[in-house]
Amino acid sequence: MSKSEQQADIRSHRLDKDELARNFADLHPPLSRSEALIAADRCYFCYDAPCTTACPTGIDIPGFIQKIRSDNIRGSAHTILAENIMGGMCARVCPTEVLCEEACVRNTHEEKPVEIGLLQRYATDPIFDQQTPLFSRAPATGKKIAVVGGGPAGLSCAHRLAMLGHDVVVFNRDDKAGGLNEYGIAAYKTIDDFAQKEIEYILSIGGIELRNGEMLGKDFTLQELRISYDAVFIGIGLGSTNSLDLDHESLPGVGSAIEYIAEIRQADDLGKLPVGRRVVVIGGGMTAIDIAVQSKRLGAEVVDIVYRRGPEQMGASRYEQDLAQINGVTIRHWARPVELLGDDHVTNIRFERTALDSDGRLRSTGEHFELSADIVFKAIGQILDVGMFGTDTVGLEIRHDRIVVNEAGRTTLRDVWAGGDCVADGDDLTVTAVQQGKVAAVDIDRCLRGE
């Protein structure tokens, strides 16, 4: 098939506007008042609640649910947002099934857990819809902090610093702030431009200047920030996609899953996006699930996810794996890509089956199979673009392409903190990035006050 024929095939399979609207509607519609009260009434309000312990941001979950029961929605939202200023987005995208809801004492073979994520959304949505102020700034300290990165870690850090009385400048490389919340999450998980609504709320506290379109290593250096500001927080995420390290990886039709997810999120008309008939996704994390399900909902006929290990080792939760299969995606385990085939456009991808040897290491079996594909998405993780630091890495410890920090977010540079996906030992979750930004902000405040 020629390149022009291949592209025509990719673009020809269209769903009508109504079907696309249904496919990209809210994945988990919000609870009504009666539904929320029924859900809240199931909570046992445990002392030393395991759900709170399981929440990376430490939200008092029984506390906010109790306030919902008494119709104190504003108080409930304050309990949530005081610990997690992005509690609205986390209510939509957090893998609650492996965090708070998994820890819920009602999560048994006989019962389902309390619907904590939906209750959190019920409490916070009115606050963001009405932009209701719940927080104010402390007296001005005269200190100014640079935050590099406008994603969850950076915005969380900026908001807490502003609350503590500091002035903050957020340098964000993209046209919009939000990071992966804006560009990297499936469109059906965060509809109606919610990411920007939440950012508007965060910035409304005052004392935060947002500079979009300004990038570390291009528009400024880390050393320049260290000279001009009292402290620096780095929350730049992971800007480069891992490579498959295969020949012909630059073939048309082979692309980055995260880039196409961003394209979907920013599209004014989903009907104009290119859609493969036969899509193959390489990877096993949340990004792989998001791109596979969205491809199917855009009209792809056949979508396969191929992962080198088994379902237990996938980064995507069991819920997300089930979601993919319910949407008609086939998940193939124990296989790795070895060859991309095609002349002027990808047509097939060849895999080798894998297995574990006696000491648990992955090995090849020598058995091969092929899948036809007009689109291949790489969803095998991202890496830190160390090059943006230039020569400023002197004194900044970077290990395995991640910035090394201590428990307070301090790097090996005395006036530089970091958090989010760019730091070592992270789990690439929005909620974890929010917590790391908050913790770093508190530590920055202590240091600037001489404590």
Sequence ranges of the domains in the chain: 33-130, 144-239+384-448, 241-378
Question: What is the rounded CA–CA span in Å between residue 326 and residue 24?
Answer: 15
- Cα separation values, 394 from 116, 222, 275, 413, 440, Å: 44, 11, 45, 9, 21
Question: What is the rounded CA–CA span in Å between residue 37 and residue 35?
Answer: 6
Q: Sort strands 382-383 and 375-378 into parallel, antiparallel or unpaired.
A: unpaired
Residue 215 and residue 173 in contact, taking contact as beta carbons nearer than 8 Å: yes
Output helix, strand, coil percentages for the chain, rounded to the nearest 5. 40, 20, 40
Q: What pLDDT does 6 receive?
A: 52
How many other C-beta atoms lie within 10 A of the C-beta of residue 182? 25
- Superfamily of domain covering 144-239+384-448: FAD/NAD(P)-binding domain (3.50.50.60)
Domain 241-378 in the same topology as domain 33-130: no
Name 52's Cβ contacts closer than 8 Å, sequence gap at least 6: 58, 59, 60, 61, 62, 100
How many CA atoms are closer than 13 Å to the CA of 408, on its beta-carbon side? 12
The residue type found at 226 is R
Report the alpha-carbon angle 87-93-94, nearest 5: 70
How many other C-beta atoms lie within 10 A of the C-beta of residue 107? 16
Per-residue pLDDT of the chain (451 residues; tens, 9 = 90+): 445 445 545 554 579 999 999 999 999 999 999 999 999 999 999 999 999 999 999 999 999 999 999 999 999 999 999 999 999 999 999 999 999 999 999 999 999 999 999 999 999 999 999 999 999 999 999 999 999 999 999 999 999 999 999 999 999 999 999 999 999 999 999 999 999 999 999 999 999 999 999 999 999 999 999 999 999 999 999 988 899 999 999 999 999 999 999 999 999 999 999 999 999 999 999 999 999 999 999 999 999 999 999 999 999 999 999 999 999 999 999 999 999 999 999 999 999 999 999 888 999 999 999 999 999 999 999 999 888 888 777 789 999 889 999 999 999 999 999 999 999 877 889 999 999 999 999 999 999 999 8
Q: Would you call 215 helix, strand, or coil by DSSP?
A: coil
| Third-level CATH fold of 241-378 | FAD/NAD(P)-binding domain (3.50.50)
| Closest listed residue to residue 350, CA positions, set 306, 402, 405, 410 | 306
**Pair of tokens at residue 308:** 């080198």
Q: What pLDDT does 9 receive?
A: 55
Question: What is the rounded CA–CA span in Å between residue 439 and residue 408?
Answer: 6
Rounded to two decimals, what is the model's pTM?
A: 0.94
Residue 59 and residue 52 in contact, taking contact as beta carbons nearer than 8 Å: yes
Q: What is the 3-state secondary structure (H, E, C) of 237-257?
A: CCCEECCCCCCCCCCCCEEEH
Question: What is the rounded CA–CA span in Å between residue 178 and residue 411?
Answer: 23
Burial 403-433 (b: 16+ CB within 10 A, else e): bbbeeebbbebebbbbbbbbbeebebbbbbb
Q: At what angle do helices 61-69 and 116-130 cross, to 10 degrees?
A: 70
Q: Would you call 298 helix, strand, or coil by DSSP?
A: helix
Q: What pLDDT does 239 receive?
A: 81
Question: What is the rounded CA–CA span in Å between residue 47 and residue 216?
Answer: 46
Question: What is the rounded CA–CA span in Å between residue 430 and residue 49?
Answer: 22
The reply to whether CATH 1.10.1060.10 applies to domain 33-130 is yes
Query: What's 301's DSSP letter?
Result: S
**Helix (H), strand (E) at residue 160:** helix 152-163
Q: What pLDDT does 424 receive?
A: 87
**Pair of tokens at residue 86:** 């992005």
Q: What pLDDT does 17 receive?
A: 93
| Closest listed residue to residue 421, CA positions, set 177, 205, 240, 224 | 240
